[in-house]
Structure 1
Amino acid sequence: MSSVLSPSTAARTTTPRVGMAIFALAMGGVGIGVTEFTMMGLLKEVEQGLGISTPEAGHLISAYALGVVVGAPLLAAVGAKLPRKSLALGLLLFFTVANLTSFMAPDYGSMLVSRFAAGLPHGAFFGVAAVIAASLVPPTRRGWAISMVMAGLSVSNVVGVPFATWLGQTFGWRLLFVLVGAIGLVALLMVWKFVPFQAAHPDASIRRELGALKRLQVWLALLVGIVGFGGFFATYTYIAHTMTAVAGIPSGLLPLVVALYGLGMVAGNIVGGRLADKSVMGTLYRVLPAIAVALVVYAVAAHWPWSAMVMVFVVGASGSMLIPALQTRLLDASPDAPSLASSLNHAALNVANALGAFLGGLVIALGWGFVAPALVGAVLAVLGFGVALLSGLLERKRPLAA
């Protein structure tokens, strides 16, 4: 992992600025989480404001996800020769400006373009932020450092998304993008002040970064994320329908349900980081079956309000435990192209989002009920576990490069 952790950066692990540097990177994650997830809760307001149909409003969410999938490998590869701090600053500036253009977009077409643009820096930022965080701590604490950066995404679901949803419903949905722009600006200033400068690797190039795509273990790690995490999104996408139609929870309590899910994500992210520091593959082997079990129990518990709310927390926690291990696994699988490999994780998670939502909607359309997506998710988690086992078996025959 010499390309990720050098003696000079390891020496900085004792400085108090490390915590603030990681916090600054996490703030970028808060802004990304708010812009990604709040749109789902403001779709009705967006429809009325732009005079569009529900499917057209849904396309705005799809446009953002497509931007993530396209931008993650593209911007990570193009920025390979830049110092990591400079790349992070550039991506945050891009993100901030793109969201402000969404605020000013006069019609549906321009809004569609601006949402796609806002998604472009998402994966690349998380990728380079994870690499920076991992470089600031000893190898035995990489999982923790990465989980702290990812915590910004989880915290946004607890605090930022509910607040942004209230703000948009009360004072106008376009204010969401002003709020996100303000968060992006704060994150940019904090990264500029607290994240230490790291020169680009002398051999860094677009070709070197794209070399990550030649490694089977990189693709297997991405497949674990796409399949294994797809169940998380299959459940989350239809959580409002499940809680109101199956558990009988009043729609007025849905913000509490979403907050519980977010709290579970925060807890799971922290625990997942600790577990990844002990054993990356061991974490995958344990967490994926745990997700499957949690989703099956959720499908049963969803028929009663209190048990449903408990399992909402558990499902959020079990799913988010997976992310730090996947991020660390990709760094291990491609040590000479860490930015691209790490960025691809978030492209994979957005593919998982699309896959989970599609399969969940399919079983609902077949008349299997609103708990069926959770059972589909359990099957996906088991399949992801199978991919992880295959990856581990191949690694025994051919260990990862040091």
Structure 2
Amino acid sequence: MQKSPAAGRFAPTAFMLGNLVTGCSVLAPAGMLPELSAGLGISIHAAGLLITFGAITLCIGSPLTAWLTSRIERRTLLATTLAVLAFGNLASAFAPDYASLLVIRLVMLAVGALYTPQAAGTAALIVPAERRGSTIAYIFLGWSLAAAVGLPLITFMASRYGWRAAYGGIGALGCISFLLLLLRLPAGLKGTPVDLKTWSAVGRDRTVLLLLAITMLQMSGQFVVFTFMGPLLKKLTGAGPDAIGMVFGIYGLCGFLGVVIATRIVDTWGPYRTSLLFTCLLLAGIAGWALGAGTFVLMAGAAAIWGLGFASTNSMQQVRLVATAPPLASATVALNTSVLYIGQAVGSAIGGLLFAHELLHPLGFVAVGFVVLALVLVILTRPGPAAAA
């Protein structure tokens, strides 16, 4: 089928908006834990399990669905995934109880696990190799916008109109994104089929395995704190919903700026040096949160520095994986997304246990430990002088 030039040109933007919907779907409970707790008659810890169990579903679903759907035409696959996310969020708005909401979320995210890795892999099919790094980083702006705009809006809507209205808003955004993707993505695109030989090749590549470990450690450290960021601010500083929404906004806005900067410099600096820079910012921000716990201004300032590394570190991981083994990109990008969600599950589970036992200050220092280990691995994966970053 003949491609529309306009469609191809704006496809990365359609991908980016799809990531915005995906990010809001994954992160939404973090922005409205108190409302979910009060509305469903459950504890904050139980509400946080929506993120933990969702992350477990995502980490299993990402490589499994990448394998099962690798021969499906990309526009059909990605549009269907967005349709499921839209319907799942709309259904969540009408969930009668916690069990129903959890089941709807798990089914929705089992399919939604497809979107982020497949969008990145499909982008590699429609842009020149020299623009691949900046395009993938641009696509991940959607996740930054989910934190910069989505979470503050979710917090605002949930605190004033209830958690059901927040889910309804995400569902409406999903419908719009679904239509944009249908209009902007060329038809007839197919990726490299993923088979058992592909997974075997990934398992033998030491650099790929180390890069996947970096992703898991970075996300584990962040989600120890991020899952309970709102309740932590309330308990440690007495912050109300508007102040908490402001911190989410600062965090997300800086995440947006971080990806914009990464997009601008990655083709010149190379993925390794760009990744090293933003991992250091990530560590500085989380360390600042841990040391400033109890003082709202210090915690908000730390969230800003942390935000700079939030999405940019993950987008650089995607770029490095694609550059390290281009023929394995479909599998490695899916696995990277999977271990990202493993990190979310591990971090939110550890954070939940610490939060339930009122160990609020140690939360930040546990997060720092994970990110220090990630930084060590980033340094160990430094490419040789003649290697591509």
Q: Distance in 2 between matches of 1:342 and 1:363?
A: 31
Aligned match for 1:300, one of 288, 291, 294 = 291
Residue 250 (structure 1) shift: 4.9
Aligned match for 2:135, one of 118, 130, 145 = 145
Alignment match, 2:373: 383
Is 1:23 paired with 2:41? no
Whether the aligned pair in 2 keeps the contact of 1:64 and 1:118 (CA below 8 Å) is no
Q: Please, which runs of 5 or more residues in structure 2 have no aligned partner?
A: none
Residue 129 (structure 1) shift: 0.8
Alignment match, 2:282: 291
Matches within 5 A, 1:67-106: 67-106=57-96
Is 1:58 paired with 2:29? no
Select between 24-33 and 255-264 the one with higher mean Cα deviation: 24-33
Whether the aligned pair in 2 keeps the contact of 1:38 and 1:164 (CA below 8 Å) is yes
Is 1:210 paired with 2:199? yes
Whether the aligned pair in 2 keeps the contact of 1:330 and 1:341 (CA below 8 Å) is yes
Change (3 A) 1:91 1:238: closer
SS of match in other structure, 2:275? helix
* Number of matched pairs: 386
Change (3 A) 1:199 1:63: same
Residue 191 (structure 1) shift: 1.0
Whether the aligned pair in 2 keeps the contact of 1:330 and 1:338 (CA below 8 Å) is yes
Is 1:319 paired with 2:324? no
Is 1:355 paired with 2:346? yes
Q: Which residue identity does 2:119 align to in structure 1? A: A
Aligned match for 1:267, one of 257, 260, 272 = 257
Change (3 A) 1:178 1:211: farther
Q: Distance in 2 between matches of 1:363 and 1:47?
A: 18
Q: Distance in 1 between matches of 2:238 and 2:35?
A: 25
SS of match in other structure, 1:80? coil
Is 1:45 paired with 2:18? no
Q: Distance in 2 between matches of 1:108 and 1:363?
A: 22
Q: Distance in 2 between matches of 1:107 and 1:159?
A: 27
Give CA deviations for 1:101-150 in whole Å, capped at 9, x if unaligned. 33344443332221111212333210111122233333232222112211
Alignment match, 1:221: 211
Select between 310-319 and 295-304 the one with higher mean Cα deviation: 295-304
SS of match in other structure, 1:82? coil
Q: Distance in 2 between matches of 1:162 and 1:312?
A: 14
Q: Distance in 2 between matches of 1:263 and 1:221?
A: 26
Aligned match for 1:335, one of 319, 323, 326 = 326
Residue 268 (structure 1) shift: 1.1
Q: Distance in 2 between matches of 1:238 and 1:50?
A: 18
Q: Distance in 2 between matches of 1:242 and 1:54?
A: 11
Residue 31 (structure 1) shift: 1.5
TM-score (structure 2 length as normaliser): 0.86
Percent of aligned pairs with the same amino acid: 25
Alignment match, 1:5: none
Q: Which residue identity does 2:195 align to in structure 1? A: I
Residue 213 (structure 1) shift: 3.8
TM-score (structure 1 length as normaliser): 0.84
Q: Which residue identity does 2:199 align to in structure 1? A: L
Q: Please, which runs of 5 or more residues in structure 1 have no aligned partner?
A: 1-7
Q: Which residue identity does 2:148 align to in structure 1? A: V
Alignment match, 1:282: 273
Select between 331-340 and 114-123 the one with higher mean Cα deviation: 331-340
Whether the aligned pair in 2 keeps the contact of 1:269 and 1:323 (CA below 8 Å) is no
Q: Distance in 1 between matches of 2:23 and 2:236?
A: 28
Aligned match for 1:346, one of 325, 334, 337 = 337
Residue 171 (structure 1) shift: 3.4
Whether the aligned pair in 1 keeps the contact of 2:23 and 2:143 (CA below 8 Å) is yes
Whether the aligned pair in 1 keeps the contact of 2:48 and 2:352 (CA below 8 Å) is no
Alignment match, 2:181: 191
Q: Which residue identity does 2:309 align to in structure 1? A: S
Q: Distance in 1 between matches of 2:156 and 2:138?
A: 27
Change (3 A) 1:61 1:286: closer
Residue 190 (structure 1) shift: 0.9
Give CA deviations for 1:358-381 in whole Å, capped at 9, x if unaligned. 4445666787652x3333333222
RMSD: 3.1
Q: Distance in 2 between matches of 1:45 and 1:361?
A: 17
